Chain A
Amino acid sequence: MRRGIAATALVAALALAATACGGEDKGDGGTDAGGELSGTVTWWDTANDAEKASFQKIAEAFTAKHPKVTVKYVNVPYGDAQNKVKNAFSSGSDAPDVIRADVGWVADFASLGYLDEVPADMAKKVDSEFLPQAAASGKYEGKTYAVPQVIDTLGLFYNKKMLADAGVQPPKTLAELKTAAEAIKAKTGKAALYLRGDDSYWFLPLIYGEGGDLVDAKNKTVTVDNEAGVKAFKTARDLVASGAAITNATDGYANMQTAFKTGEAAMMINGPWAVADTYAGDQFKDKANLGIAAVPAGSAKAGAPQGGHDLGVYAGSKNRAAAHAFVEYMTSQEVQVQSAKELSLLPTRTAAYEQPDVKSSEMVAFFKPAVDKAVERAWIPENGSLFEPLKVEYTKAITGASSPEDAAKAAGIEFRKILKGWK
C-alpha cells in the first residue's frame, strides 16, 4: 500500500493487458442434455445490513425451482460495489453472473459491453408489465440490459411525536421547514432536519426543487451551474447556516440514521431502504411514530430523484441461461411482494401493487405516489461519474468552505470534463 496508487494503477493496467490474451469460447453452458438448467449462479447483492438476510433467503430459494442450479449469494457493500464489479468484469476471472446494479450504473456497464442483453421474451415483459420509469432505467440505446428489481425515491421521514410536541405539521416547503425548525428548537431543543452533506444524491431534491437538473441530456447541456443550480447550492448552505438543518462532511449516512433514530433530529430525507433500519431505533419502538411525507418543495416545486436497483447478467457469464432465469425469478411478482412486505421496498411490477400485502403496507402506500412523481434521471453512462465532483462542491458549499456561486461554477467545469463536447 505504501508504494501508492501509482503502482496500483500500473499493475491494474498490466493486468488488463495480460488478460487480453487467452480466453476461448466455452459455449453457452447452463443447460444439460435434457434442457434443464444447471450450474452455479453467483449473485452480487448490494443490499444493506438490514435487508441482506432476507435477500439471501429469497435468492437461495431459487434452488427449489431449479434443483440443479446452485445460487452463490455474495453481499458487496454498496459503496465499493461499482468499483468491485468493474474490476471483476474487466478481468473476467471470478466475475459474478448476476449483479444488483444501482439504476445509475446500468448505462455505464452496458456501454462498456459488460452486460448481456435481456432475452427478447423477458424484455417484452419488462416493457409491458413493469412501471415505465423503472423499465427505462434498464435500457441503453434502445435495448434492455437489466431488469428492475426495486424502485425508490427520497422522502421526508419525520418523528411524529417530536413534531406534535413542537405543534407543527410536516412541512411541505423549505420555507415551512425553516419556520417549523424554530418551533422545534424552542420546544425540544433539537434540530429540525438532518441533511446529508457528504453525498450529492441528497442535493438532487434541492436542485429539482428550484426547477433545475444536473444535465439536460436531450440537448447535451450541463445545467448544474445555471441559475436554478446556484439557487440550489444557496438553499443547501442556508438550511445549515440558519440552524434549520444539521449536517456532516463525513460519515453522513451513519450520523443521519443515528441522529434520527435517537431523536437528535426530528426529520431526515431518506429512501424506503432505510425504513427497516429506522424501526430499530429507540424513537420508533412504536412503529406508528414514523411518518413519511414528500420531500419539501423549493421555490419552484417538490422533486425527488428516481432511484432503485436493477439486475443484470454479465456478458461473459458461463451460465447465462441459468443467470437470466435467476433474474426473472428475483424480479417475479411473488418475490417483489415478499420484499415489499418484509423490507418495505417498492415493487417494479405494476400488478404487484394490487396484492393485499403490498396494498396494506403503509410505506408502500406513501412511496408509490412519490415514485410516480419522481424525477427520472438522465440514463447516460456518465451518470455515476457526475456524483463524485458534485459531492466535492456540494460539501464545500453546504459547509461554507466555498460560495454557492463558486461551487456551481466548479461543478459545471468538472461536469464538462467528464461529458466531453457538451455545452
Chain B
Amino acid sequence: MAADTSQSVVKAADDGVGNDSAVRGRSRWTDSGNTGNTRNTRNAGGLRRALATHWYAWAMVAPVVLVLGVIIGWPLVRGVYLSLTDANERNVARDIGARHIDATYEFIGLDNYTAVLGDPVFLQRLVWTVVWTVACVSITFVLGLTLANMLNRQFRGRAAYRMALILPWAVPGFVSVFAWRFLFNRDNGILNKVLDGGGIAAVPWLDDPTWAKFSVIAVNVWLGIPFMMVALLGGLQSIPGELYEAAEMDGASAWQRFRHITMPGLRTVSMTVILLSTIWTFNMFPVIFLLTRGGPGDSTEILVTQAFREAFITSPRDFAVSATWGVLILLLLMIFALVYRRSLRKQGEVW
C-alpha cells in the first residue's frame, strides 16, 4: 500500500507541489482508464462483454474470492447471526467424545443490542477507546514524522539508527509488552529503580488509573512508531530533491519548506497510515490485555478487551453478547472509515 501511495505522491510532486489544485485534481480512478471504462459501461450487455473479455482475469481472481469468502465472509455472517440469538456455552452444539449435544439456542432479535447499548459500560468503554485511539495515533504520527525527517538526511551511521528504530517492529508484540510490564513494575521495576536513584518517589505505573492509561498509550506508541516512520520515510524519499533546492534558491525558510513541500508531498501517505493505524489501535487487544488486563479495576478496558471478557471470562461463555460487541465494533469502524473517506473526498483526495 505504501508503494502505491508513494507513487501517486511522485506524480503529484512532478506536477509541482505547492500547487494544491494539482494534487487535489489527481485521482487514481481517473488516472486508470480501465476502471473508468468498466464503471461507465456497467449495464447488462456491458457486463456480459466484460466477462467475455476478461474471463481469464475472473478465473484468476475466483480462488481468492472463494478463500476470502470462507475465512472472512462466513464467520462474519455467522457472527452477525449469533448476535441475534442467545447462544452461549450451555446451548451451542458440541461433541463430547462420542456424545453429541444439539444446539438449543434461539433467535431473539435485537435484544442483545438493546442490552449492550443500554448498559452504561458501553459508553464508558467507547469514550476511553476513542481517547486511547486519538492519543495513540496522533502521538505516533507526530513522533514518526519527526524521526522520519531526522533520518531523511545524510549522516554517519544512518543505517544503524534505522535498524534501532525499526527494532520494536521486529520483536513479537507480546514479548515487548511483557518486557514493558517488567519495566513498569512499581516495586521491582527498572523504571522506578532509576527514578529512585534520582531521588524521585516511585510512580505507580500500572497501579493508578491515570498512570495506567499513560503507560498503555506509551507502550502502544513505542510499538507503533516504526511502522509510521518507515511509511513516512518512504513518502519523504519520493519527494524530489529539486523542489527543496528550488525553494531554497527562492529563499524559503526551513519551516516554509516543511510546510509547503514536505507536508503536501506526504499527504497521501499520511492519510493512509493514519487510517490504518486508527483501525489497528482501535482494536489493539494485546497491549492492553497483556499490560494491564484492562486494570487497575476496569480503567483501561477498551471495546475489544471487553468483548473478550464477555466471551471468555464469564461462565457460561456468552457467545451471543460477545458477537454483539464484535458487530458493534465493526459498525463503528465502518462508520469511521466512511466519514473519513468522505472528508477526504471533500478535500479532493479520492481513494
Q: Which A residues are closer than 8 A to B by beta carbons?
A: 1-14, 16-17, 19-20, 22-26, 83, 86, 89-90, 92, 108, 111-114, 197-198, 248-251, 255, 258-259, 264, 314-318, 381-382, 384-385, 388, 392-393, 395-396, 399, 401-402, 418
Contacts and interface: CB of A to CB of B under 8 A. Distances in A.
Contact of A385 (B206, B305, B315): B315
B69 to A, nearest CB: 13
B140 to A, nearest CB: 15
Interface in B75-108: 75-76, 78-79, 82, 87, 89-90, 92-101, 103
Nearest to A82: B315
Contacts of B207: 197, 248-250, 399
A315 B187 contact: no
Nearest to B325: A6
Range for the number of chain B residues in contact with chain A: 35 or more
Interface string B61-82: 0000000000000111011001
Contact of B95 (A10, A92, A250): A92
B78 A17 contact: yes
Given A5-B304, A396-B296, A418-B314, A23 B285 contact: no
Contacts of B208: 249, 399, 401
Contacts of A83: 312
Given A9-B307, A17-B78, A86-B317, A250 B206 contact: yes
B97 A315 contact: yes
B283 interface: yes
Contact of A9 (B185, B206, B323): B323
B162 interface: no
Contact of A315 (B96, B296, B297): B96
Contacts, number: 181
Given A251-B185, A388-B314, A10 B97 contact: no
Contacts of B204: 249
Q: Which of A8, A10, A316, A384 has the most CB of B within 10 A?
A: A10
A393 B79 contact: no
A382 B314 CA distance: 8
A22 B100 CA distance: 9
Contacts of A401: 208-209, 296-297, 299
B186 interface: yes
B97 A5 contact: no
Contacts of B307: 5-6, 9
B314 A385 contact: yes
Contacts of B283: 2-6
Given A5-B304, A6-B304, A17-B78, A112 B90 contact: yes
Contacts of B82: 10, 13
8 contacts: A1-B285, A6-B329, A10-B326, A14-B78, A20-B93, A113-B96, A249-B212, A399-B208
Contacts of B294: 392
A249 B96 contact: no
B319 A9 contact: yes
B296 A395 contact: yes
B99 A382 contact: no
A258 B187 contact: yes
B9 to A, nearest CB: 25
Given A396-B296, A396-B297, A5 B285 contact: yes
A262 to B, nearest CB: 9
Given A6-B325, A20-B94, A26-B98, A13 B75 contact: yes
Interface string B293-305: 1111111000011
Interface in B85-144: 87, 89-90, 92-101, 103
B309 A388 contact: yes
Contacts of A8: 308
Contacts of A9: 79, 307-308, 311, 319, 322-323, 326
A5 B308 contact: yes
Contacts of A255: 185-188
B98 A382 contact: no
Q: Which of B94, B99, B325 has the most CB of A within 10 A?
A: B94
Given A22-B95, A399-B297, 14 more contacts: A1-B173, A1-B286, A4-B285, A6-B327, A9-B308, A9-B319, A13-B75, A108-B315, A112-B316, A113-B101, A249-B297, A250-B181, A258-B188, A388-B309
